[in-house]
Chain A
Amino acid sequence: MKLSKKIKWGTGLTGVALSALMINEIQDATPIDATLSEREQEILQLDWTNFEVTIDDEKPAERQTRRT
């Protein structure tokens, strides 16, 4: 294969790969997977050691529940 053709071929492959990467990124930006991975399960573990009912605390809450 001539050098110029190799460069074109290489450029073409790179272009395809970059496009695929971009498409993946866009698709990844949409959380659509229905199943939970092990990592997700791990993240979901509620750390009860950090759950506390606060009493007589002057510091205001950051958010409040609403009447939904």
Chain B
Amino acid sequence: MKNQQNARHDAHDTLMCYSMHTLFFIQLPLHAMKQYKDMLLQQLQFVDQEWSRFHESNELACINQQMIGQTRTISPLLYACLQQAHTYYVQTAGAFSPYLKQAMCTHGYNQTFPFTKATVTQQTLPIQQTPFIFLPSYRLQRVGIGEIDLGGFAKGFIIERLAMYLQQNGVTEGMIDGGGDIRVWSSGQKTWKLAVANPYDQHKPPLTTITLQNGAVATSNRIYRSWHQGDVVKHHLLDGRTGEVCQSDIIQATVVTARLTDAEVATKLCFLQQPLPFTTKVATYIVKAKQQAQWQLKGAQL
């Protein structure tokens, strides 16, 4: 994590820092920022170090190196994150999967962005299976092959946790933005206005804007994190059931829900054209090539 920066904005303070290869932007009331700035930085630094699949000796790497039959006690926060990701894995019948590290590497995503070309490998995609079971007392047992890549889910999880913690401790309003995946809350005084970026060019005017007081917005895009592996264009959105790159005419999916982890998983399911099983209140904004996008609202009365 690097480059932390503070700036005052109205009656709020803002904090910017890098974690998980992403720019985080946090906006809180002045007094809350003063009180929680250090905790926020520590937490983001911790997950940056311990949860990345690109580090060879962190806690996630140790889990991935477990042998079949071996049990390991892991940190409670990572256990909670993995367990929640696994719950989505079960709820979506494997369409969303946190166990795609080997498939990602086979497709050439074995380095951090930005990159445009990946070497062609002779590896075949591993058969997707459930590699771990969750035991009491934060223990994880390997029962099959497969390695964890939390990807954007880790970001959504930690943002959700931090937002929840701040709310529970009386911080009346705030925004945590991890690379465009945004969680906002308000006690009613503050209404947040958020824009959905143009998928082709961030500097062009946004496609649409929304206002909300409490909620989460996540966006996935198959153009930005894409690369050539030989003559084949690949991107980072994989089908958890097969490990194959998702084939879709969707360019960008934006989802608004109550929880950022729901929104994060929902964007992947939009690309896979799978139903969203975990909430009845969802707004989606799907951008397809040469089509006018529109908000689709489910469970809402507007």
Binding site for B on A (CB under 8 A): 29-34, 39-40, 43-54, 57, 59-68
Contacts and interface: CB of A to CB of B under 8 A. Distances in A.
Nearest to B75: A32
Contacts of A48: 281, 299-302
- Which size bracket describes the interface of B in this complex? 35 or more
Contacts of A50: 191, 211-214
Contacts of A31: 43, 77, 161-162, 164-165
Given A29-B39, A52-B212, A54-B211, A67 B80 contact: no
Contacts of A64: 180, 194-197, 202, 206
B81 to A, nearest CB: 9
8 pairs of A and B residues whose beta carbons are closest in the complex: A66-B180, A67-B224, A61-B195, A34-B80, A46-B258, A65-B219, A31-B165, A50-B213
Interface of B: 22, 25, 27, 39, 43, 75-77, 79-80, 83-84, 152, 161-162, 164-165, 167-168, 175, 177, 179-182, 185, 191-197, 199, 202, 206, 208-215, 217-221, 223-225, 252, 254, 256-259, 281, 283, 295, 299-302
Nearest to A49: B301
Given A44-B259, A67-B219, A68-B219, A61 B206 contact: yes
A67 B212 contact: no
B168 A40 contact: yes
Contact of A44 (B75, B165, B258): B258
Contact of A65 (B195, B283, B300): B195
Contacts of B25: 63
Contact of B300 (A29, A34, A51, A62): A51
Contacts of B22: 68
A65 B182 CA distance: 7
B197 A34 contact: no
B213 A62 contact: no
B134 to A, nearest CB: 10
Contacts of B39: 29-30
Nearest to A62: B193
Contacts of A29: 39
A47 B212 CA distance: 8
Contacts of A32: 75-77, 80
A65 B212 contact: no
Given A33-B80, A34-B79, A67-B221, A53 B194 contact: no
Contacts of B211: 50-52, 54
Given A47-B213, A52-B211, A66-B179, A61 B219 contact: no
